[in-house]
A = this chain, B = another copy of it.
Amino acid sequence: MQKEWKDTPALLLIDIQKGMDEVDFYGGERNNPEAESNAALILDYWRQNNWPLFHVKHCSVVPGSPLTEGLPGNDLKDEVKPRDGEPVITKQVNSAFIGTDLKQQLDAKNIRTLVILGLTAEHCVSTTTRMAANFGFTTVVVPDATASFRSKMLNGQSIPAQTVHEISLATLNREFAEMVPTRDILQSRLAERG
């Protein structure tokens, strides 16, 4: 069924940065290599519709992080490179709402619906989505435009990236966000006003 937005949805592209390619730093294995190309398709669709969008960039303060400001890894990836005039929110923590004016910018534009995608599903996408939902935004996550890295149980046992991804999304689903895949996002449209 075609997705209809009740009000104009804003797109949040979370941390799609070159440094995320340092897979060994982030656990040694990543799933869903299509996340970036799906994000690029959705970004194009937003530009065509002239809907609001926000690039979010992580400027890590963790020593050794590839996302540190000033390093090449801090740059947003070419597939989702911001155009002149598109807002870029910079943050130092997982949530795009902490230490930034994102909430104020959304409120100023009377935005009530957010579409969230990017990296990683378990950390920054998840934390931003949880806060967005708890602030009262209607929140959509695009599962196949997110990805996860391998993690470890408390007992040291490895958790495959695909499992981290699936369970992170399952935990967000319904409680915090509706899950809408890329193909449906690309056919979505704003409901006509009666």
Contacts and interface: CB of A to CB of B under 8 A. Distances in A.
A143 B134 contact: no
Contact of A166 (B122, B127, B154): B154
Chain A, interface residues (CB within 8 Å), range: 20 to 34
Contacts of A179: 154
Number of copies: 2
Contacts of A159: 167, 170
Nearest to A152: B170
Interface string A164-180: 10111111010110010
Given A127-B130, A130-B127, A154-B179, A171 B95 contact: no
B171 A122 contact: yes
24 contacts: A93-B134, A94-B130, A94-B134, A95-B130, A98-B131, A98-B134, A98-B135, A99-B134, A122-B171, A126-B171, A127-B131, A127-B134, A130-B130, A143-B154, A151-B167, A151-B171, A153-B166, A154-B166, A154-B169, A154-B179, A163-B167, A164-B170, A167-B168, A168-B171
Contacts of A131: 95, 98, 127, 131
Contacts of A123: 171, 175
Which 9 A-B residue pairs are closest in the complex by CB-CB distance?
Answer: A93-B134, A98-B134, A127-B130, A167-B167, A122-B171, A95-B134, A151-B170, A153-B170, A153-B166
Contact of A154 (B93, B99, B154, B170): B170
Contacts of A134: 93-95, 98-99, 127
